[in-house]
Structure formats: structure tokens, C-alpha cells
Chain A
Amino acid sequence: DSGVTQTPKHLITATGQRVTLRCSPRSGDLSVYWYQQSLDQGLQFLIQYYNGEERAKGNILERFSAQQFPDLHSELNLSSLELGDSALYFCASSVGPTGVGSPLHFGNGTRLTVT
């Protein structure tokens, strides 16, 4: 058990809808990272927050947004969903602002299916 909790585990929704994925980082970790895993794109870094502030942005679409709350949990909001957004979304956390000195701890992911 990595200590990172992601909810829900599965999500099925229709095109055009909006969903929110939630992540609770490991106790003591201040950084939260979001990754998307799909068959064609592999594991893609989306965005990182450190102690409530956006730290780094990767291949995140404008339809997607995220935030980290004062209690350090994070939410990833996906809107105007398209079939191609179907993927496994991972949250990871680390102690510091970079995942280099301290490793990333991954949650078990939220599997999103857009129909």
C-alpha cells in the first residue's frame, strides 16, 4: 500500500460530461502529481502541485484543470469529455517539490471510461 488514495476507482460517463477525480497524498507528502495512462500515449505527466501551488505543467488539455486544497488533497477536473479521454488517471505524491530526491508514490488510479 503506497498510502496514496484515489477515488473513485472506476468512472463511466458520457461524452460532453464533466467529472472530478480525487486524490489524497501519502501522509507528510506535500507534492501531488497527476498522470494519464492510455494505450496509445503511455504514461503522460499532466500537472504537479506543491503545498497548494501549481509547480509544473505537462501535457494537460485546456479542458482539464486541477487544484490542491489546504488539507493537501487534490482534485483533477475533466470537462467536455471526449472518447479519447478514456484512460487510467494516476495520482502520485512526494515529500518535496521535486520527485527526484524523494521517490513518487503512486495511487492505484481511477479508470475513466467515456462512452
Chain B
Amino acid sequence: AQSVTQLGSHVSVSEGALVLLRCNYSSSVPPYLFWYVQYPNQGLQLLLKYTSAATLVKGINGFEAEFKKSETSFHLTKPSAHMSDAAEYFCAVSDSQGAQKLVFGQGTRLTINP
């Protein structure tokens, strides 16, 4: 069974600092991996996805994530945090066999300090 673990339910960084949100996955088959962002009172929005084309994936709003098979990780980073990045971030996994459902992590709430 697939699973996702997000390390840290709450991350706080200063504006302009590096953002690092951690995600480790477990999958018995090559995975598809996703990062979604949820702003207050809104649904989830896709930030980026890994589908085995390239290990470094660039997404929207300056975010990127690197797939590391040896570490079973897919950490999300952004070089310089902006106040508008404050939101909840979810890592998700789906198996590459075409499974319909995404398995989500518990989420990480990102707070940006001025």
C-alpha cells in the first residue's frame, strides 16, 4: 500500500528565507508524486507533479521538488519565501499503474514571518 509522510505539521520561516517542506513516500511500484497547496477557505491547487520524466520538477509560484528514489523523498523547496506562500501544503502519491486515487499526507502548514 502506498503512503506519504510529511515531516512537520507546521513550518515557520521568515520572508525571503528558504522554504523546505519534507515529504517521504512508500510505494511498491514506481510512484507518481504531487504537491498541492490549499489556501484558506479554498480547495487544493496543484503545485507540481513528478511522473518519471525528470527528477527535478518545477512548479508554479517558484516552487520546485526533487525526486530522490534512494531516499524515497520528494521535498518541496522555494529559494525565497513570500508572504503569499502562507498556506497548507499536501504531498500525495499515486501508483504509476494508473490508480485512480491519490493518497495524501497529513499536510504542512507554512507560516511566513515578516
B114: A residues at CB distance < 8 A:
none
Known: A43-B104, A100-B96. 8 other contacts (CB 8 A): A2-B43, A42-B105, A45-B101, A90-B44, A98-B98, A100-B99, A104-B102, A106-B44
- On whether the beta carbons of A107 and B43 are closer than 8 Å, the reply is yes
B103: A residues at CB distance < 8 A:
45
Chain A residue at minimum C-beta to C-beta distance from B105: A42
* A100 CA / B46 CA spacing, docked (Å): 12
B42: A residues at CB distance < 8 A:
108
| Residue B41, interface by CB 8 Å | yes
Residues of A within 8 A of B (CB): 2, 4, 31, 33, 42-43, 45, 48, 50, 55-56, 58, 90, 92, 97-101, 103-109
A92: B residues at CB distance < 8 A:
43-44
* A2 CA / B101 CA spacing, docked (Å): 19
- On whether the beta carbons of B43 and A99 are closer than 8 Å, the reply is no
* B100 CB contact (under 8 Å) in A97, A105, A107, A109: A97
- On whether the beta carbons of A109 and B101 are closer than 8 Å, the reply is no
- On whether the beta carbons of B101 and A33 are closer than 8 Å, the reply is yes
Q: Tell me how far the C-beta of B46 lies from the nearest C-beta in chain A, rounded to whole angstroms.
A: 5
* A106 CA / B32 CA spacing, docked (Å): 18
Q: Tell me how far the C-beta of A15 lies from the nearest C-beta in chain B, rounded to whole angstroms.
A: 26
A45: B residues at CB distance < 8 A:
101-103
User: Nearest 8 CB-CB pairs, A to B?
Assistant: A106-B43, A56-B100, A43-B104, A45-B101, A106-B44, A103-B46, A98-B98, A42-B106
* A61 CA / B100 CA spacing, docked (Å): 19
* A108 CA / B39 CA spacing, docked (Å): 10
* A100 CA / B107 CA spacing, docked (Å): 20
Known contacts A43-B90, A99-B94, A100-B32, A33 near B105 by CB under 8 Å: no
A97: B residues at CB distance < 8 A:
98, 100
- On whether the beta carbons of B96 and A4 are closer than 8 Å, the reply is no
A33: B residues at CB distance < 8 A:
100-101
* A100 CA / B102 CA spacing, docked (Å): 9
* A98 CB contact (under 8 Å) in B41, B44, B99: B99
